Amino acid sequence: MKKQIVAAAVAATMSAVALADIAITGAAKVNFTNTDSGVSGTADTNVFTQEMDLKVKGKSGDTEVVINFGGGAFDGDSLASSAAVKNDNSGGAVDGDANQVNVEDAYVKTKVGDVAIQAGTWDSGNNVLRASSRKAGKFKASTSVSGLDVYVAGGSAGAVSEEVGVATTVGGVNLAYVKKKAAAATNGETFKASTTLGGINVKYHAENSDAVTADRDYVELSGTFGDVAVRVGQATADAEATIQGDDWMGDFESETAGTVRALSAGQDVTAIELATSVAGNKVTFRNISADGVAGADTDWNKIIVTRPLASGATFELTYTQQDDQVDANDADILDLELAVSF
C-alpha cells in the first residue's frame, strides 16, 4: 500500500512538472454593431460578431513551440449562408456554418549559442502604415553585437522577403533600420526613430520603396497634460502608395460598403486623440481625417468609453460618425463590445 501511495505521489509530481512547461493564454470578444446609413430609405443594419483566439506554448529549456488558434470573425447574420470557408492559415473570416478554428501561427523558437532562431508561420503584425501578413515557411535569426540588435530573415519561395535589420539606442534615441528584398516593386527599406523631448514622446516611421513615388511615412507626438493624454499623428503616402494600416488612426485594410472606407493611393491621414478617466471609465475622443485625393475625403469622429467589469471582462462602447464625400458612405455606427483575456 505504501508503495502504491509513493508511486501515485511520484506520478502526480511528474505530471505537475510536465504541465509546468505548458502555458495556455487567449482572448475573446463579442460585438454588436448598429449602422445607420446616410442613404435615405436605407434600413439600419444590426450585426453580432465574435472573435476567439487561443495560444498554446510549450517549452523545453531554451526551446519553445507556439501554436495560435483563431476563430476569425463569425458573422452572426450569415449563419444560414453558404459562403466559402477560409481555411488557409490566414486568420481571416470563417463562415459560422463551418464551425471551424484556424491554426493561425505555428512556429519554433530556440537558441544556438547567442543566436535566437525562429522558424515557421507567424503574423508580421499591424502598424500605422501597412496591414499585417502571415505566410508559412518563414525563418529569422537574431543576436546582439556590440550594442546592436541585428537579425536576418527569409523563407520559402513567396513566403517572406529577404530582410536584414539592425536596432540600437544612441543618445536616448531608439533607432531601427530594415533593408528588404521581395518582388521588384516592393524592394525597399524601413526606418524608425523614437525618443522623448521635454516630456513629449516623438515617433517617426518611414517605409521607402524602390518603386517611384511609392513611399509612406508617419510622425507622432504624444504626451500627458494634467489628466488628459494627447496624441497627434500624421501618415503621408506618395502618389503610388496606399496607407493600409490597422492602428489607432483606423483600420484601412479592407472596405465594407457604407461603414469602413479603404483608402486610395496618395491619401494622407491626420488624427488627434484625447483620453482621460471619468468615474472609473476611460473616455477617448478621436478625430481622423483622410484626404489628398479628389472625391475620396473622409472624416471620422469617434467617442470610445471603456470600463473594466467586476467579472474580469471589459465593456467598450464606440460611437463613430463617418462623413464622406460620397453621401452613400455617410454613417453613424454604434459598436458595443464585451472582451476578456486570460
Q: Which H or E run includes 250?
A: strand 250-251
Task: Return the residue matching grid coordinates 490597422.
Answer: 246
Q: Is the pLDDT of residue 9 over 60?
A: no
Residues 6+ apart with CB under 8 A from 85: 94, 95, 98, 100
Range with top average pLDDT, 87-96, 114-123, 174-183, 290-299 = 114-123
**Whole-number mean pLDDT of the chain?**
83
Closest by CA position to 267, among listed 295, 236, 288: 236
pTM more than 0.85:
no
Q: Please answer whether residues 98 and 85 qualify as being in contact, where contact means their C-beta atoms are separated by less than 8 angstroms.
A: yes
Q: Is the pLDDT of residue 169 over 60?
A: yes
C-alpha separations of 301 from 17, 63, 240, 248, 265 in Å: 52, 46, 27, 13, 23
Give me the torsion for CA of 299, 205, 53, 309, rounded to 10°: -60
Q: How many helices (H) and strands (E) does the chain have?
A: 1, 20
In percent, the amount of the chain with pLDDT more than 90 equals 54
Q: Please answer whether residues 283 and 277 qualify as being in contact, where contact means their C-beta atoms are separated by less than 8 angstroms.
A: yes
Give the whole-angstrom CA distance, residue 311 versus residue 8: 37
Position 20 scores a pLDDT of: 56
For residues 219 and 182, the model is more confident at: 219
DSSP-assigned states of every residue in 70-132: EEEEEEGGGTT--PPPP-SSS-----TTT---EEEEEEEEEEETTEEEEEEEEE----SSS--
Range with top average pLDDT, 33-47, 63-77, 84-98 = 33-47
Q: Is the pLDDT of residue 250 over 80?
A: yes
Cell of residue 66, nine digits: 507556439
Q: Which H or E run includes 27?
A: strand 22-37
Give the whole-angstrom CA distance, residue 88 versus residue 104: 9
For residue 287, the cross-strand partners are 272, 301
Pick left, alpha or beta for residue 61 (phi over 0 → left; psi -120 to 50 → alpha; otherwise beta): left
pLDDT in tens, 183-207: 655 678 999 999 999 999 999 999 9
Position 57 scores a pLDDT of: 96
Cell of residue 334, nine digits: 454604434
Closest by CA position to 274, among listed 316, 222, 228, 321: 228
Task: Return the residue matching grid coordinates 521581395.
Answer: 182
Range with top average pLDDT, 67-71, 254-258, 281-285 = 281-285
Mean pLDDT of the region 136-150: 93
